Amino acid sequence: MSQTPVQSPPSRLRIAAFAPIGEEGRTELVESRLVQAISVGAFIEGERLPSETELSHLLGVAVVTVREALGALRHRGLIETRRGRNGGSFVRPSHGTVEEVNARALMEMPRVALADLGVHYEVISSACAEYACLRATPEELRIVERILRETRDLPAQLWRRRITEVQLELAALSQSVRLTNEHVRLQTEFTPFLALQDQDVEARLATHDALLAQITATQSGDVAAARTAVRESVRASARWLVRFRGELLETSQTGDLRATLGSRHTRGDSGGALSGEESA
Amino acid sequence: MSEAVGRSLDDAIARVDDFFDGVFAPLEEWLPPLRTRVSGWIDDESFTGAQLAALVEEDVTRMLDNAERPLYGAGYCASDAVVTEGNPLAWWQGPERSLLASSTFGPGQAAIDLVRLEWYRVPAATGERHVAGPFVDYLCSNEITITSALPVEVDGRFCGVICADVIVASLERVLLPRVAELVDATLVNLGGRVVVSTDPGYETGDRYLGADPESGIDALVAAGSAPDGVRIARSARYPFALIGSGAGAN
């Protein structure tokens, strides 16, 4: 087994991304599904998307619909198309593009909807955590814990992908198909926002440590502690996002979004101080 | 606990064994010709997941079509000795026998992903067949599943596993009527996780009360019995046991 961190996403997210769309499939629907897949990190920068034919099979829509959707993505600068034997559509190898798409989505989302997404995610994750306490085996938990521990010092983007994987795995340990499916759906929706935190080292470590605490609690079958770890962590993230959204809206009056986001990478913080402390 | 209940427990676990014998039979039949073919692929550096899928599709769909057990899906998951590029999992499932999305694994993802999965990890480590689950299979069936796996070895090299999936929903139909004559019989895996039960107090995925989280039901099985008039019949060949509680004796 290779010891190098592998730059790749949780498989389950891809399966969700390619669940058949069916007859109501419009170009916009294919487009938003692909944007979501890219922004959730289901595809890495520079990676080739499935071919038009394969996408049309997977999504259950006509090739021409896929072609139009890819055209729209190209126009938005999210993918680039190369011709020739090794050609195809590739995710634009620039983290900035994806981050900008996610930041815009955050700005456009009403605050009340953002908060409610946080509540929904928190409730489903906590429920999964409770059932995992009752049902997961030590061996299963050891594997998740190992994946998590190997993740801590990875660069932000790789770290986020691994974390998403860990979150999905923990949900599946509930042994509930319904909860796992619901979790995948929410994870796909929430992760692009959560990833905006990744430039904030403090926020990143807080997420990481909360997951470790959740696993430890699950290992000892402590339902209350597992639920608490999930709740506090998701709420902290939701507060962070609300604050960050506010900052983005403020700077959008005056400046350029890309520059604002870019400055975070050099400053190494978010501008929004994370409140790691929990008001009891 | 009456002799009668004990006997019917033994009968019922024998039926469980018979069921899984029937799951493994087509895999065992497929293994020798597959190994011959795999030996020709091993040294081909450029052998891709797409080629693998094309080459084994006929074998797998035939196996699914002729199966005498309710197999939900089946396929071959190659190790990196065989497939270094693309998706190593050639898998067909569901009523349509559809190929699992070839884009499931990203580049270089397989090695890390596979090691997480019990049905791959255990045969890779032991060289022995394994039955994994029940677990939420969010990679393939997206159902609560039991995966039966057989390692593929060529000249002592581990070349992956061939597997067949049975979803618990269909297992229930096969096994529950047979244990229904017992009062409160629960089929568990060796980790103490409930597969199916006639006891309304237990659902699939639950941990059987008294099973140790770390050693599962080993301690109970070793004793051959458990407190409260509970009797255990362990499978001869598979990681399962049937636990009957003795209301029937009274």
Summarize pLDDT for A126-184 with one digit per residue, the tens.
999 999 999 999 999 999 999 999 999 998 888 988 898 899 999 999 999 999 999 98
Cα within 13 Å of Cα(A145), Cβ side: 15
Cβ <8 Å between A134 and B207 = yes
- In Å, how far is A252's CA from the nearest CA of chain B? 36
A139 touches chain B (CB under 8 A): yes
Position A158, amino acid: L
Given a cut of 60, is residue A273 above it in pLDDT?
no
Are A128 and A248 within 8 A, CB to CB? no
Given a cut of 80, is residue B243 above it in pLDDT?
yes
- In Å, how far is B206's CA from the nearest CA of chain A? 5
Q: Of A1, A12, A131, which is closest to B138 when you measure between CB atoms?
A: A12
Which residues of chain B neighbour A8 with C-beta distances below 8 Å? Answer: 105-109, 112
Cβ <8 Å between A8 and B112 = yes
Summarize pLDDT for A187-208 with one digit per residue, the tens.
988 999 999 999 899 999 999 9
Size of interface A-B (CB pairs under 8 A): 94
Q: Which 3-state string (H, E, C) describes B16-35? A: HHHHHHHHHHHHHHHHHHHH
Which residues of chain B neighbour A131 with C-beta distances below 8 Å? Answer: 205
Query: pLDDT-derived band of residue A278, with 50, 70 and 90 as boundaries?
Result: very low
A54 touches chain B (CB under 8 A): yes
Which residues of chain B neighbour A54 with C-beta distances below 8 Å? Answer: 102-103
Cβ <8 Å between A135 and B116 = no
Cβ <8 Å between A50 and B109 = no
Which residues of chain B neighbour A128 with C-beta distances below 8 Å? Answer: none
Mean pLDDT of B88-106: 79
Cβ <8 Å between B142 and A175 = no
Phi, psi of B196 (to 5 degrees): -145, 160
The 8 Å CB, 24+ separation contacts for B94-102 are B94/B141, B97/B61, B97/B64, B97/B65, B99/B53, B99/B57, B100/B73, B100/B75, B100/B139, B100/B140, B101/A14, B101/A15, B101/A18, B101/A50, B101/A58, B102/A50, B102/A54, B102/B49, B102/B50, B102/B53
